[in-house]
Each structure stands twice: as structure tokens, then as C-alpha cells.
Amino acid sequence: MGYSVKFQTEEKYKSISYGSNSIYNSACGPASLCNALQVLGIADISIPTMCQLAVSCGARVDGGTVMTTLLQSAAPKYHFTYRTTSKNAELLAHLNAGGVAILHNGSAYKLFSNSGHFVMAAAASGQTITVLDSYWYSGKYTASSIRRNYVSVVEKGVVKTSLTQCGKATIDRSPSYYLISREVISDTKNTEKDVEDMTESDVRKIIAAEAEAQAKKAVSNWATDAWNAAVSAGVLDGTAPQGNLTREQFTVVLRRLGLVGGSDTPSGWAADAWTAATDAGVLDGTNPHGIVTREMLAQVAFALGLLDVVQVDGGTMESHKSTE
């Protein structure tokens, strides 16, 4: 998945204030929240706009941003939920469930910065965490042995590191992680007027966001063996185990399983019946694994003498079970 990272280190932000400093130097908190909301598909908010909110709600203080205060103000405004934790296992479970997280890098273990710094965890694959860093400059992740050894750069603003390294980077911050999710709208909020006011675009966005979140989820425990077998056999490609399957994708799966098309030979268990039906002229002898439509089934039943077909007024046909 490609990410469109919002950077506080754009040249223009050097001259835009954020409290007593500039966005360029101090807005990692608001920038990380902007990136979180964008990845979740909730809203595309500019960094200056989020900084204004941080200042107005009192989250901007000397030395940085009080993330809890900013989240308390932003959550009802942008319709998301959040909770905090310092446990790596909870961070990983949250990311696997389709959420994102803001990580609070400390000064004890200088992985993402040499001092306090907020970054955003966008996804997890196994024990590997994809992180978006708004404070970007050339050579940042080759500047120390820790970063060279434990961080890999995917592209500008996007790096990968291990869950263990995330824990080390945030060990002197409490909480270490701010877990952010899309707001779940309860039935009591879905009033008739709410629905009437929704545009087609609103509905499409909701459906797309839910599908994207579902596709990020790992394979369920009950389906693990079957999933691994299907991937090993080349029936499935191993991605998005809980994602939706379109009809055309389903037909590809059926073909890979040999259930439709691709073979002129009937299965062993059906060989005698297939030969008998072909010899009797009930079937034409082609495509034994093809799908039978309802009209084809009706034609077979008629060929076997199981139906009487009577012409009725208006040119339509009535079918009756034979009494012979």
C-alpha cells in the first residue's frame, strides 16, 4: 500500500508558527494525527489546520504537544475513537484489526528522533511495523547505528521496523501508544434523517473504508489451515484473507480448482453417467466441468421425457410434470 505522507518539514512551514515555535520544528504531534486520519480514510486535514486546533484546545505547550488533549478535542470533531496503552501486544492487535497508532518516541532510545517525537504506525505484517514519520530529512535513518541496523526506509516518510524496536523507542514515555480507530456509528445515531442526508459519495466512502479495514485483517484462526493450503496450491495469492471476493475473482478460483472449464474429461466418479448421457443424446459431450444454467437443466429434463411442454395463449410455455 502506498502512503501520501504529510510532512511538517516542508520549507513553507519554517515561517508558520505553532505556539512559540514553528510547524517545521515542533508540529510532529498534529502532523502524526493528520497522517493517522488520512490512512484511516476519515479526513484529509492540513497540518496548519490541526495545529490551530491544538492551540485552541490547549494541547500546545512549551516543548511540544499534549497528545491526549489534542485527541480529546479532535475525536468528536473528526469522528474517531482512541485509547492508550504501553503494551506491544495491544499495539500489534490493534494494527492487525485495521486501526492505526501514534507512537511517542522518547529520548532514552533514539530510534525515530534524538528527543521526544511523535510518529504514526500505519500497519503491521507479522512483527514488522510500517511507520510514517512527518519529520523527514535526507540521511535521517542512516545517522546512527541503531537506525541503520533496525530501520529500513521504504520511501520518503515511510519506514519499517520491528515491534520490539517500537517498544524500545517508547519505553520512557507513558503512554507509549495512542490507538486510533474509525468511529463505530451505533444504530441509535442512524436516524432516518441521518440516512436521508447522506449523499451517494458519503455511502461509497463508508463502504470503501469498511472494505479496506476488513481487507487488512489477518486470517482467522478457524480458517488458517485451509487458507495456507489454498495459498500453497496457488489457488489464492495470499493477500487480504478477509477481503471481499468479486464474482470474477470467484470464477478464477473455480477455474484454478478445475471446477469450471479447462478439461474435456469428466471426473472419475461421474465417468459412467457422463458416457451414458452423451450416448443417449441428452448431453452433447463437451465441457463436463462447465456450469449448468436453469434453462439447460430444463432442456435436459425435456430431452429425458420428464416434462410435457404445452403452447398457451400469448406464445408463452407452461411446463408440467409428466404423468406417464
Which of the four pLDDT bands, split at 50, 70 and 90, describes residue 314?
A: very low
Indicate whether 72 and 167 sit together in one domain. yes
Instruction: Judge whether residue 150 has pLDDT over 60.
Output: yes
Indicate whether 113 and 141 sit together in one domain. yes
Residue 320 is predicted with a pLDDT of 41
Indicate whether 98 and 223 sit together in one domain. no
Residue 317 is predicted with a pLDDT of 45
39 found inside a domain: yes
Domain residues for the domain of 208 are 192-244
Indicate whether 83 and 213 sit together in one domain. no
Indicate whether 88 and 43 sit together in one domain. yes
This prediction's pTM: 0.59
58 found inside a domain: yes
Residue 194 is predicted with a pLDDT of 62
Q: How many domains does the chain have?
A: 2
Instruction: Judge whether residue 227 has pLDDT over 90.
Output: no
Residue with cell 500489534: 92
Instruction: State residue 100 phi and psi, 5-degree precision.
Output: -130, 175
Q: Name the helix (H) or strand (E) containing 158.
A: strand 158-162
Percent of the chain topping pLDDT 90 = 54
Indicate whether 29 and 144 sit together in one domain. yes
Which of the four pLDDT bands, split at 50, 70 and 90, describes residue 218?
A: confident
19 found inside a domain: yes
Indicate whether 92 and 45 sit together in one domain. yes
Q: Which of 107-111, 198-202, 320-324 has the lowest mean pLDDT?
A: 320-324
Total number of residues shown for the chain: 324
Indicate whether 122 and 69 sit together in one domain. yes
Output the DSSP codes for 115-146.
Answer: S-EEEEEEEEETTEEEEE-SS--TTGGGSSHH
Distance from C-alpha of 73 to C-alpha of 68, rounded to nearest angstrom: 9
Q: pLDDT per residue over 51-64, tens digit each?
A: 999 999 999 998 89
Q: pLDDT per residue over 234-254, tens digit each?
A: 888 888 888 877 767 777 777
Say if residue 266 is preceded by a cis peptide, omega within 30 of 0: no
Indicate whether 66 and 135 sit together in one domain. yes
